[in-house]
């Protein structure tokens, strides 16, 4: 640490709360990217003076020299604390981040990951391989947003062709009409990032073997894999079950990419096989809570129903999925996924999100008590 040149992270503010008493001063550190606070009390103004001038121009040893060797222990432990709490970074990391085209993402992650691990975590995120089943509305948004977040290895599975009516909510344009959706998205991705590796799989998943084979071939590369189920109506139930089985068998984390229901955008759950509730655990709970209030009321089944959709609802669902992917890909306990064991609904009429808990079930036929 002696040779590190630390600076207060530029997005972190140091706020005096109560400094009247010099031997007991109260400050807040405010991490503005994520609006979180680290409240601290000080009995020595030496430390607050150090923070106020921590601009990356002085090494730790020179700070100690100027302040006095008797404070060495205090200063080391203070700096370690500041590193641990993501409040400071060394200038070398700061410059490396500033030169990286994805610096906004790195600076955001820096609110959760200490400077000395940030590029390791960034590497984890970069190197995850994301499989996306279904390149409909939500799938198209997720693919592009992932690449804009640093992920560049994708497998896209869909057999459809871009049609005019897709343009109201999927990220295609008129230039894509007639192309396979996976090709259109692949083109868009490569225009963002020339070195993106995109596997295009022109299939509709209707058999377990299909998805198992795809996953098997990916596993050969020893990559971390994550799967996102964006299967659209009418395949949603069949495909979801097959994906669930394949992911559980291979212990691959997967996300059910929500969906929508009129003014509600569903925020899908994240499933970590044998750690959190799985698709079947959730089905059990959902069945229980969806029982009609009065037993003798029957709802008329409407198999041909075609509920409409809007671009912003797709945007909302996909934004939460992308957050979850970043968290899972990071492999950091500080950034564990937030959509495990629950599902969310965003109500645009009230601008509210509500969550339904969907806990792991011991009576689950799939994961029951297994680890």
Partner 1 sequence: MIENWNKYKPRLRDGVDIYLESESDVTFVYLSSRKRIKIKCHPLLIKSLSWLTGDFSIEELNSRLMNFSHEGFLANNGFLEFIKYLYGKGILISEHWIDEISLPHLYKKRLERQLNFLLDITDSSDEVSRVQSNIYQAKIAIFGLGSVGSWLCRELVMMGFRNFLLIDYDVVSEFDISRHEFFEQKTIGIKKTEVTQQMILDIDREACIKIFDHALTIDTDLENLLLEIDFIVDTADEPYIGYTGLKLSRYCVEYRKPLMIAGGFDAHLGSLGELIIPGVTPCADCYNTFFKESLKDWKPINHPVIERRISFGGLVSLSVLTASTAAMTIIRYFIDPTTKFEGERGELLFDNYDLTVFSVPKNSTCYICSHLDNEK
Partner 2 sequence: MMSNNVQKKLEQYGFAEITVEDGMTKGKAYTKQCSGSRSDCCTRTCSRDQNFVGNTDEWEEFLNVEAGQVQY
How many Å apart are CA 225 and CA 255, to the nearest integer? Answer: 12
How many Å apart are CA 245 and CA 260, to the nearest integer? Answer: 24
| Residue (238 or 338) nearer to partner 1, CB | 338
How many Å apart are CA 114 and CA 129, to the nearest integer? Answer: 24
Shortest CB 144 distance to partner 2, Å: 26
Token pair belonging to 301:
């089944």
Shortest CB 248 distance to partner 1, Å: 25
63: how many CB neighbours lie within 10 A of its CB? Answer: 20
- Using CB under 8 A as the binding rule, the residues of this chain from 260 to 319 that contact partner 2 are none
Part of the chain binding partner 1 (CB under 8 A), chosen from 70-78, 127-135, 172-180, 237-245:
172-180
**Chosen residue from 77, 173, 191, 354 binding partner 2 by CB under 8 A:** 77
- Using CB under 8 A as the binding rule, the residues of this chain from 294 to 353 that contact partner 1 are 294, 296-302, 304-313, 315-316, 318-320, 322-323, 326, 338-339, 344, 348-353
Whose tokens are 């709802």? That residue is 299
Phi then psi for residue 269, to 5 deg, are -80, 155
- How many residues form the binding site for partner 2 (CB under 8 A)? 26
**Chosen residue from 2, 73, 175, 219 binding partner 2 by CB under 8 A:** 73
Long-range pairs for 89-94: beta carbons < 8 A, 24 or more residues apart: 89/6, 89/7, 89/9, 89/115, 89/118, 90/4, 90/5, 90/6, 90/7, 90/56, 90/115, 90/116, 91/5, 91/6, 91/7, 91/56, 91/57, 92/5, 93/118, 93/119, 94/7, 94/9, 94/10, 94/56
Partner interacting with residue 40 (select from partner 1, partner 2, none; CB below 5-8 Å by kind): partner 2
Residue 9 sits in the site that holds partner 1 (CB under 8 A): yes
| Residue (284 or 338) nearer to partner 1, CB | 338
Partner interacting with residue 305 (select from partner 2, partner 1, none; CB below 5-8 Å by kind): partner 1
- Using CB under 8 A as the binding rule, the residues of this chain from 43 to 62 that contact partner 2 are 43-44, 46-47
**Which of 190, 89, 92 minimizes the C-alpha distance to 147?**
190
Part of the chain binding partner 1 (CB under 8 A), chosen from 75-83, 101-109, 209-217, 240-248:
101-109
Continuous H helices in 148-277: 181-192, 208-219, 236-250
In Å, the largest CA–CA distance within the chain is 82
Residue 26 sits in the site that holds partner 1 (CB under 8 A): no
Q: Distances in Å between the alpha carbon of 219 and those of 159, 205, 214, 225, 251?
A: 23, 19, 9, 8, 11
Partner interacting with residue 101 (select from partner 2, partner 1, none; CB below 5-8 Å by kind): partner 1
Part of the chain binding partner 2 (CB under 8 A), chosen from 7-15, 98-106, 192-200, 333-341:
7-15
Part of the chain binding partner 1 (CB under 8 A), chosen from 26-34, 212-220, 247-255, 360-368:
26-34
Partner interacting with residue 78 (select from partner 2, partner 1, none; CB below 5-8 Å by kind): partner 2
Shortest CB 60 distance to partner 2, Å: 16
Q: How far is CA 69 from the centre of its chain?
A: 44
Binding string, residues 17-46; x marks residues near partner 2 by CB under 8 A: -------x-----x-x-xxxxxxxxxxx-x
Token pair belonging to 324:
């979850």
Residue 34 sits in the site that holds partner 1 (CB under 8 A): yes
How many Å apart are CA 17 and CA 34, to the nearest integer? Answer: 20
Partner interacting with residue 81 (select from partner 1, partner 2, none; CB below 5-8 Å by kind): partner 2
SS3 state at 8: strand
At CA 154, angle to CA 152 and CA 160, rounded to 5? 135
Partner interacting with residue 77 (select from partner 2, partner 1, none; CB below 5-8 Å by kind): partner 2
Binding site for partner 2 (CB under 8 A): 10-11, 13, 24, 30, 32, 34-44, 46-47, 71, 73-74, 77-78, 81, 85
């Amino acid at each position: 640490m002696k040779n590190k040149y630390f600076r207060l992270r530029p997005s972190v503010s140091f706020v005096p709360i109560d400094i009247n008493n010099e031997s007991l001063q109260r400050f807040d550190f405010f991490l503005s990217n994520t609006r979180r606070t680290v409240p601290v009390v000080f009995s020595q103004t030496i430390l607050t003076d150090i923070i106020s001038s921590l601009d990356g121009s002085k090494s730790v040893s020179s700070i100690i020299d100027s302040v006095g060797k008797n404070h060495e222990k205090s200063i080391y432990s203070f700096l370690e604390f500041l590193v641990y709490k993501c409040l400071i970074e060394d200038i070398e990391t700061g410059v490396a981040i500033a030169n990286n085209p994805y610096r906004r993402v790195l600076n955001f992650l820096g609110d959760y990951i200490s400077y000395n691990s940030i590029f390791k975590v960034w590497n984890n995120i970069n190197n995850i391989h994301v499989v996306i089943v279904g390149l409909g509305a939500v799938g198209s948004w997720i693919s592009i947003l992932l690449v804009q977040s640093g992920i560049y290895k994708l497998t896209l599975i869909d057999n459809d062709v871009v049609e005019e009516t897709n343009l109201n909510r999927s990220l295609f344009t008129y230039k894509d009409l007639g192309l396979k959706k996976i090709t259109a998205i692949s083109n868009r991705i490569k225009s963002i990032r020339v070195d993106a590796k995109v596997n295009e799989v022109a299939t509709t998943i209707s058999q377990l073997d299909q998805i198992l084979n795809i996953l098997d071939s990916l596993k050969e590369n020893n990559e971390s894999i994550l799967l996102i189920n964006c299967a659209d109506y009418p395949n949603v139930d069949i495909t979801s079950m097959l994906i669930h089985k394949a992911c559980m068998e291979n212990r691959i984390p997967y996300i059910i990419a929500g969906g929508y229901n009129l003014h509600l955008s569903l925020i899908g759950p994240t499933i970590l096989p044998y750690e959190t509730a799985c698709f079947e655990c959730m089905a059990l709970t959902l069945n229980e809570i969806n029982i009609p209030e009065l037993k003798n009321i029957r709802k008329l089944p409407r198999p041909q129903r075609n509920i409409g959709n809007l671009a912003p609802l797709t945007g909302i669902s996909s934004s939460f999925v992308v957050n979850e992917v970043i968290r899972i890909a990071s492999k950091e306990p500080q950034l564990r996924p937030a959509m495990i064991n629950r599902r969310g609904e965003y109500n645009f009429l009230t601008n509210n999100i509500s969550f339904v808990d969907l806990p792991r079930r011991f009576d689950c036929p799939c994961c029951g008590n297994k680890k």
